[in-house]
Structure 1
Amino acid sequence: MHSSTKPINSLRIGLFGTGRVASQLGPALVAAGHRVAFVWGRTPAAATALAAQLPGTRVLPTLAAPLPPADVYLLAVPDAAVAPLLAGTIWPAGALVAHLAGALPLAVFEAQPAVRGGVFYPLQTFSAGRAIDWPAVPLCIEAADAAGEATLLALAGSLSRDVRRLSSAQRLKLHVAAVFANNFTNHLLGIANALLAEAELPAELLAPLVRETVAKALANPPFAVQTGPAVRHDAPTLAAHEAALAAHPAWQALYAQLTASIQAQL
C-alpha cells in the first residue's frame, strides 16, 4: 500500500548500529526534525563518530542497564544480530522496537513479549560516500499493534514520500527481488568489468549500454524486452562466448545457466 502519511512532530529515537544504514539514517532522522536520543554500537569509536554528527545525541556505552526513554528504538544492525540484541537488552515495558531487515519476519519479536515489535525496512542499497535521496526510498512498515504501526507509518512519512504496509511474507519476496535487481546485477557488472580489463578495454565502454538497459527495463516488462544471442538461439555466438570464458569456469557455468534461464522465459 502506498501511503501519503504526513510528517509528525519530533520523536525521540534510540538508534542501534553504526554501519552503512545507521550512518545514513541518523542524519536523515535529524534532518526530518527528530531527535536521536542515543546511539549504541559494538565499536565505541564508531558510535562516538556517528553521535558527533547528530546534535544532542549521546553514546550508549552498555546494554547492561535499562535504556534511556525513546518513542521508537530502531535496530539498524545485521539480521543475525537482531535476536541476540533483543534478548540481551533491558527494554522499557511496552517499548516500540523496530528492526530494519528485509528478510527477517515480525515474529522475531515474539520471544520478547515486553516490547511492541515493528519493521522499518528501507528498500535501498547503502554504501559509504553515497548520498541517499530519502524522499524517494520506499519504506516498508509492519507492526504488531495498531498504535505501533501508526507511529512507524508517520515516522516513515517524515522521511519518504513512498511508505507502504507490507506483511513479512511480502517483504521477504521483495527482499529476494531486490537481491536479483541489485546485488546480482552489480556482481554481473563486476564480471563484465573484469572481462574488459583482461582485454585492456575501458569500463566506460559499457556505460551507455547499461543505462539504456536499465531505462528500458524500468519502462517495460523486462522479459518482454530481452535481447541478445540467447533470445535469438544464436548457437554459434553462444558457443564462441562460452569458449572465450574457458579461463573462468565459474563464469562460464553462470553464462550457460543464465542463457538457459532466458530461453526458458521465451
Structure 2
Amino acid sequence: MRIAIIGAGRVASQLAPALAQAGHEVVAVWSRSEPSAQLLASKTGAVPLHGSKPDFATVTAAADLYLLAVPDDAVAQVLQAAQWPAGALLAHTSGALPLGVFAAQQQVRGGVFYPLQTFSPGRVLDWSTVPLCLEADEEADLAVLEAVARSLSQRVLRVPTPARQQLHVAAVFACNFTNHLLGIADALLADAHLPADLLTPLIRETVDKALANPPFAVQTGPAVRHDASTVALHTRALGAHPAWQQLYQLLTASIQETAATRPQA
C-alpha cells in the first residue's frame, strides 16, 4: 500500500522503515523539523515534507493510508492544520486518544493503529511480536488497517476506545512505572557504590515469574509478609530521598491491601 507518515519521532522512526521492509511504499514523511523529515524520508525513499501546514492533498498522490505518529497533544492540531485529500483514511497511533478525535474532520475517515510497545532510539524491534490494536467505524477501513498490520505483526486485535484506553493505563504500569522503579533501584545501588548488574538475575527472575503466573499470586518481600521491622528500616534508609520514601510507603500499603483482599489459597 501507499502510506504517508505524519511525524518523525520515536514511533515514526521505527514504523516507517518497518512498513517499507514489509513491502509498502512510504510515499511521504512529514515533520515540523526539516532535518527530521529528511532523515526519516531518506531511510524509506519517501518525499520529505515539513512546515506547520502540510498539504497532503497535492503531494502524496492519494496515499491509501495516513498514519499520524505524533504526540497525543499534537494530533488535533495537525488534523486541523493539514490539507487532506477528500475521503482519505487517517489513523493515529495513540493508546489514549479516542477514535472520536477525527469527528471534526468530516472530509476524512478515521482509524486507530496502536502499536503496544515502547520505542527508544537505537533499539531494534521485532515487529512480528508487537501487538497492533486497531479501531475504525467502517468495516472497509478496518480491512485496510488489518492488511497493513498483518504485514508487520502476528498479533493483530480489534480494540475499541474504552478497552484500548484501559490497556494504555496497564501499559504505563507495566512499562513506564516499572522502568522508573528500576531507575530508583539503580540510583540506590550507585549511592552504595555497588554495581548495577547485581540486580540483573533478580530482575529477570521477577519478570519471568510474573509472566508465568498471575503477578499478585507470586508477590514476595517484606510488605506482603508484614515484616514491620524491615519496612521501618527501609523507610529510614530512604531518608535522603523523601519522594522515594513516600513512594515506598505507598507501594507497601498497596501490596498489603491487595494481599488482604485476595482469596486465600
Please tell me the TM-score bracket, short chain as reference: over 0.9
**Structure 1 residues 64-213: aligned runs within 5 Å:** 64-65=54-55, 66-67=57-58, 68=60, 69-213=62-206
Specify the alignment match of 1:59 in structure 2: 48
- Equivalenced residue count is 255
**Structure 1 residues 29-68: aligned runs within 5 Å:** 29-55=19-45, 57-62=46-51, 63-65=53-55, 66-67=57-58, 68=60
Shifted more, 138-147 versus 60-69: the winner is 60-69
CA distance, structure 1, for counterparts of residue 7 and residue 173 of structure 2: 26
| SS of residue matched to 1:230 | coil
Instruction: Read off the aligned partner of 1:238 and give its amino acid letter.
Output: V
1:64 deviation in Å? 4.8
CA contact (8 A) 2:7 2:30 kept: yes
Instruction: Read off the aligned partner of 2:171 and give its amino acid letter.
Output: A
Shifted more, 161-170 versus 140-149: the winner is 140-149
The structure, 1 or 2, with the larger RCO (C-alpha pairs under 8 Å, 6+ apart) is 1
1:25 deviation in Å? 0.5
CA contact (8 A) 2:33 2:50 kept: no
**Structure 1 residues 244-263: aligned runs within 5 Å:** 244-263=237-256
CA distance, structure 2, for counterparts of residue 97 and residue 124 of structure 1: 21
**Structure 1 residues 17-28: aligned runs within 5 Å:** 17-28=7-18
* Change in CA separation of 1:239 and 1:117 when aligned onto 2, cut-off 3 Å: same
Q: Is 2:207 the counterpart of 1:214?
A: yes
CA distance, structure 1, for counterparts of residue 54 and residue 181 of structure 2: 45
Give TM-score scaled by structure 1 length: 0.94
CA distance, structure 2, for counterparts of residue 234 and residue 166 of structure 1: 42
| SS of residue matched to 1:111 | coil
Query: Tell me, which stretches of 5 or more residues in structure 2 are unaligned?
Result: 260-265
Instruction: Read off the aligned partner of 1:166 and give its amino acid letter.
Output: V
CA contact (8 A) 2:10 2:121 kept: yes
CA distance, structure 1, for counterparts of residue 105 and residue 36 of structure 2: 28
Instruction: Read off the aligned partner of 1:42 and give its amino acid letter.
Output: R
Instruction: Read off the aligned partner of 1:254 and give its amino acid letter.
Output: L
Query: Tell me, which stretches of 5 or more residues in structure 1 are unaligned?
Result: 1-10
CA distance, structure 2, for counterparts of residue 231 and residue 54 of structure 1: 51
Q: Is 2:231 the counterpart of 1:238?
A: yes
Specify the alignment match of 1:8 in structure 2: none
Aligned-residue CA RMSD in angstroms? Answer: 0.8
| SS of residue matched to 1:201 | coil
CA distance, structure 2, for counterparts of residue 60 and residue 223 of structure 1: 48
Specify the alignment match of 1:3 in structure 2: none
1:145 deviation in Å? 1.1
CA distance, structure 1, for counterparts of residue 211 and residue 183 of structure 2: 21
Instruction: Read off the aligned partner of 1:150 and give its amino acid letter.
Output: A
